[in-house]
Amino acid sequence: MSARSHNVLSRKTSVNFQTAAARLVAVGSKRVTNENKRNLWISHIHRIRDDADKAAFADLYAHFAPRVKGFLINSGADGSMAEECAQEVMATLWHKAHLFDPSRASVATWIFTIARNRKIDILRKQRRPEPEDLTWGPEEEPDQTDVLALQQETETLSKALTTLPAAQRELIEQAYFGDLSHSEIAKKTGLPLGTIKSRIRLGLERLRQTMK
Amino acid sequence: MNKMMSTDIKHHLTDEILMGYSAGTLPEAFNLMVATHVSLCDACRTQLAACDAVGGILLDEHDIPNTQMQPGSFAATIAMIEQGVPITKAPAVKKPSVLPSPLRDYIGSDLSEIKWRPIGMGVKQAILPTSKQASARLLMIPAGAAMPDHGHHGLEMTMVLQGAFQDDDGYFVRGDVDIADSDLEHTPMADIHEDCICLAVSDAPLRFKGILPRIMQSFIRI
B49 with B77, same domain? yes
CA neighbours closer than 13 Å in the CB half-sphere of residue B41: 28
- Is residue B63 one of the residues assigned to a domain? yes
The share of chain A scoring above pLDDT 70, in percent, equals: 80
The parent domain of residue B41 ranges over 15-82
- Is residue B145 one of the residues assigned to a domain? yes
Asked whether the beta carbons of residue B25 and residue A90 sit closer than 8 angstroms, the reply is no
The answer to whether A200 faces chain B, any CB pair under 8 Å, is: yes
CA neighbours closer than 13 Å in the CB half-sphere of residue B98: 21
The answer to whether B76 faces chain A, any CB pair under 8 Å, is: yes
Which residue of chain A has the CA closest to B97? A132
What's the CA angle centered on B49, arms A25 and A8, to 5 degrees? 55
What CATH number did the domain enclosing B151 receive?
2.60.120.10
CB contact at 8 A, B172 and B123 = no
Q: Which residues of B touch A66 (CB under 8 A)?
A: 64, 67-69
- Is residue B147 one of the residues assigned to a domain? yes
Q: Which residues of B touch A177 (CB under 8 A)?
A: 58, 62, 64
- Is residue B24 one of the residues assigned to a domain? yes
- Is residue B7 one of the residues assigned to a domain? no
| Per-residue pLDDT tens listing for chain A (212 residues) | 343 333 333 333 344 444 444 444 444 444 467 888 999 999 999 999 999 999 999 999 999 999 999 999 988 899 999 999 999 999 999 999 999 999 989 999 999 999 999 999 988 788 889 898 655 455 567 888 888 888 888 888 888 888 888 888 888 888 888 777 777 888 888 888 888 888 888 888 777 777 66
What's the CA angle centered on A128, arms B134 and B181, to 5 degrees? 30
CB contact at 8 A, A7 and A140 = yes
B108 with B195, same domain? yes
The answer to whether A148 faces chain B, any CB pair under 8 Å, is: no
B84 torsion bin: left (phi>0), alpha (psi -120 to 50), beta (else): left
Torsion (CA) A128, A132, A136, A142 in degrees, nearest 10? -160
ipTM score for this prediction = 0.85
B56 with B106, same domain? no
B53 with B163, same domain? no
- Is residue B212 one of the residues assigned to a domain? yes
- Is residue B2 one of the residues assigned to a domain? no
pLDDT tens track for A93-134: 999 999 999 998 999 999 999 999 999 998 878 888 989 865
Judged on CB neighbours under 10 Å (0-12, 13-18, 19+), B142 is middle
If one counts the domains in chain B, the total is: 2
B70 with B34, same domain? yes
Angstrom distance (rounded) from CA B44 to CA B197: 21
Q: Which residues of B touch A131 (CB under 8 A)?
A: 34-36, 38-39, 45, 48, 100, 102
| Per-residue pLDDT tens listing for chain B (222 residues) | 344 555 689 999 998 899 999 999 999 999 999 999 999 998 999 899 999 999 999 999 887 766 899 999 999 999 999 987 665 555 555 667 899 999 998 888 888 889 999 988 899 999 998 888 889 999 999 999 987 655 556 788 999 999 999 988 889 999 999 998 766 667 789 999 999 999 999 987 655 555 555 555 555 554
CB contact at 8 A, A109 and B22 = no
The answer to whether A118 faces chain B, any CB pair under 8 Å, is: no
Angstrom distance (rounded) from CA A209 to CA A203: 10
- Is residue B91 one of the residues assigned to a domain? no
The answer to whether A65 faces chain B, any CB pair under 8 Å, is: yes
The SS3 of residue B68 is coil
- Of B23, B55, B82, the residue at which a domain comes to its end is B82
- Of B55, B82, B109, the residue at which a domain comes to its end is B82
What CATH number did the domain enclosing B33 receive?
1.10.10.1320
CB contact at 8 A, A122 and A85 = yes
Pick the CATH number of A13-138 from 3.40.1280.10, 1.10.1740.10, 3.40.50.970, 3.90.1150.10: 1.10.1740.10
Q: Which residues of A touch B94 (CB under 8 A)?
A: 132-133
